[in-house]
Amino acid sequence: MNMMIASLAPAVVADDLPLLDAARPKPRYNFPKAWHHFKELIKDKENTAEVAPIFEALPWRGVYEAATAFLSTEHGQALRKAEPSLVEILDDHEALRKLPAGTLAHVYCDFMEREGLSAQGLADELDKYRRPDQYFNDQADWYFRRMRDTHDLMHILSGFGRDALGEQCVLAFTYSQQPALAHLFLGYAGAYEIKRRMKTRAPIFGAVREAQRMGRACPRLIEQPILELLATPFDELRARLNIQPPLLYRQAHDMWRAQGIDPYDLLPPEKMAA
Nearest-angstrom CA–CA distance, 150 and 90: 9
| Residue 222 pLDDT | 97
Given a cut of 60, whether residue 273 has pLDDT beyond it is no
Given a cut of 50, whether residue 274 has pLDDT beyond it is no
Mean pLDDT (whole number) for 207-214:
98
| Residue 48 pLDDT | 76
| Residue 269 pLDDT | 47
Nearest-angstrom CA–CA distance, 266 and 264: 6
Given a cut of 90, whether residue 170 has pLDDT beyond it is yes
Nearest-angstrom CA–CA distance, 1 and 14: 20
Mean pLDDT (whole number) for 80-106:
97
Q: How confident is the model at residue 107 (pLDDT cuts 50, 70, 90)?
A: very high
Q: What is the DSSP letter of 178?
A: S
Length of the chain: 274
Answer for the pair 15, 138: CB distance below 8 angstroms, yes or no. no
Mean pLDDT (whole number) for 169-180:
98
| Residue 154 pLDDT | 96
Query: For 146-164, b where at least 16 C-beta lie within 10 A, e where not — what string?
Result: bbbbbebbbbbbbbbbebb
24: nearest Cα among 69, 73, 59: 59
Mean pLDDT (whole number) for 163-184:
97
Please give the radius of gyration of the chain, using alpha carbons only, rounded to the nearest integer: 19
Given its phi and psi angles, is residue 260 left (phi above 0), alpha (psi -120 to 50 degrees) or beta? left
Given a cut of 50, whether residue 55 has pLDDT beyond it is yes
Nearest-angstrom CA–CA distance, 193 and 85: 36
206: nearest Cα among 256, 259, 249: 249
| Residue 10 pLDDT | 54
Q: How confident is the model at residue 13 (pLDDT cuts 50, 70, 90)?
A: low
Answer for the pair 150, 86: CB distance below 8 angstroms, yes or no. yes
The residue extents of the domains of the chain are 59-265
Element (H, E) at 107: helix 104-115
Helix locations, 159-260, DSSP H: 164-177, 181-198, 204-217, 226-230, 234-240, 247-258
| Residue 80 pLDDT | 96
| Residue 133 pLDDT | 67
**Which tens digit of pLDDT belongs to each residue from 18-53?**
999 999 999 999 999 999 998 888 777 767 788 889
Higher pLDDT, 186 or 3: 186
Q: Chain-wide mean pLDDT for the chain?
A: 90
Given a cut of 70, whether residue 66 has pLDDT beyond it is yes
| Residue 271 pLDDT | 37
- Name the amino acid, one letter, at 177: Q
